[in-house]
Structure 1
Amino acid sequence: MKSINEYVQAAHSNAVSKGWWDPEPSFGEVISLIHSEVSEALEDFRNGKQPTEVWYEADDGNHTVQWNDSRKPCGIPSELADIVIRVFDACGRCGWGEALEAWCSKAIPEPGCAVDEERSLAENLNIIHGNLTDCSRAESWQAFKFAIVVQNVEKLAGFYDIDLEQAIREKMAYNATRPQRHGGKKL
């Protein structure tokens, strides 16, 4: 099992090697990209996918239930992993790997800012959107705010018995195989 700081370093190193920090996006753009992963999890749910449903997609669009590093992991578990991976990347860029690791062990979201098993998946994803908005507003303590995002994604995964660390490992392994700035995206 890797430490959070090790995941932070690996996620950021991969993003840099794939050209995602050239040119460097603004902090607001980084936060917006994390928001997009939360929205993708919601879209999978809206499309009738179960929270634990995972499938793998090849470049030709064919689906399979077996994973290998050339098939893209898909589904809500993968989108939750993407949220955390993007947080790790952002923290790597800012040099907050150790701070994120420390805060993840002790940060506690304020009431109303924490996911709750009583809420629906969509409501909990909205809480995470709010956590991300807090990150963009904070003039300091961003590592603390990012820790709350990570904690809430972990809790949400736990509500549905999703092995978040496994999803992160699979997605990071797949990301390492992707071409430079895959898809020709601007951000």
Structure 2
Amino acid sequence: MDKQTIIDRVNVAHGNAVDKGWWQEERSLGELVALIHSEASEALEDFRNGYEPTDVWYEKKDASTGQIKTLALQPFDDWKPCGIPSELADIVIRVYDLVGKYEAVEQFASAFDDASHVIRPDTSFGDNMGWLHVSISNIILFDLVGHSVEVVNSVYKLAEINGIDLDAAVTEKMAYNATRPIRHGGKKL
């Protein structure tokens, strides 16, 4: 990915979070890192539930009943993309938002030239998710920019190994996120 594409994606992800009210309250780096972990855990849970890494489906909450409707394979309007590709996209989007919040966009985009990843092609999906969690933890422990780049590169490598078009998943998830109402989650954190 070229530097300008990275900058544009960070700006879109962070701008959307600001527009949707996510930053109306201050959030600590620890909270943000924990939420990145939660996206990785959701991807692992989908895998544990028997979904293939490339499986994608769409869900929408029925406004009258509150029940989740699931429609496999085909997106409609504001239906939420689900599956491992979507969860991996959420990791990337949360990292982009974090980088935008900490005003490290230029440094982040520049660091991709010599970036590394923790994913091992000859290792199981579960083990690679474990390594990804280590890399996510390193964002708060060590270098925010360097380890944020490592996390994004690791997610891209994991996607590549598993036949996932992560660019498409990130684009789709960011488009979906833009359709959501302000303060849509309503959660404490």
| Superposed pair shares fold, TM > 0.5 | yes
What is the RMSD computed on CA atoms of the aligned residues? 1.3
What's the counterpart of residue 62 of structure 1? 69
- Tell me whether 1:7 sits opposite 2:14 in the alignment: no
Deviates more, 1:15-24 or 1:155-164: 15-24
Q: Percent same amino acid among aligned pairs?
A: 50
Q: Is the CA contact 1:69–1:173 (under 8 Å) kept in the aligned structure 2?
A: no
The count of aligned residue pairs is 181
Distance change >3 Å, CA 69–CA 100, structure 1 → 2: farther
Q: Is the CA contact 1:58–1:70 (under 8 Å) kept in the aligned structure 2?
A: yes
Deviations 1:56-109 (A, max 9, x none): 112222222212340100000000000000000000001111211111221124
What's the counterpart of residue 65 of structure 2? none
Provide the rounded CA distance (Å) in 2 between the counterparts of 1:98 and 1:67. Answer: 34
Q: Structure 1, unaligned stretches of length 5 or more?
A: none
Provide the rounded CA distance (Å) in 2 between the counterparts of 1:92 and 1:183. Answer: 20
Provide the rounded CA distance (Å) in 2 between the counterparts of 1:185 and 1:144. Answer: 30
Map 1:83-162; keep pairs closer than 5 Å. Answer: 83-109=91-117, 114-138=118-142, 141-162=143-164
TM-score, structure 2 as length reference: 0.92
Query: Which stretches of structure 1, 4 residues or more, deviate above 4 A after TM superposition?
Result: none
Provide the rounded CA distance (Å) in 2 between the counterparts of 1:146 and 1:126. Answer: 16
TM-score, structure 1 as length reference: 0.93
What's the counterpart of residue 180 of structure 2? 178
Q: Structure 2, unaligned stretches of length 5 or more?
A: 63-67
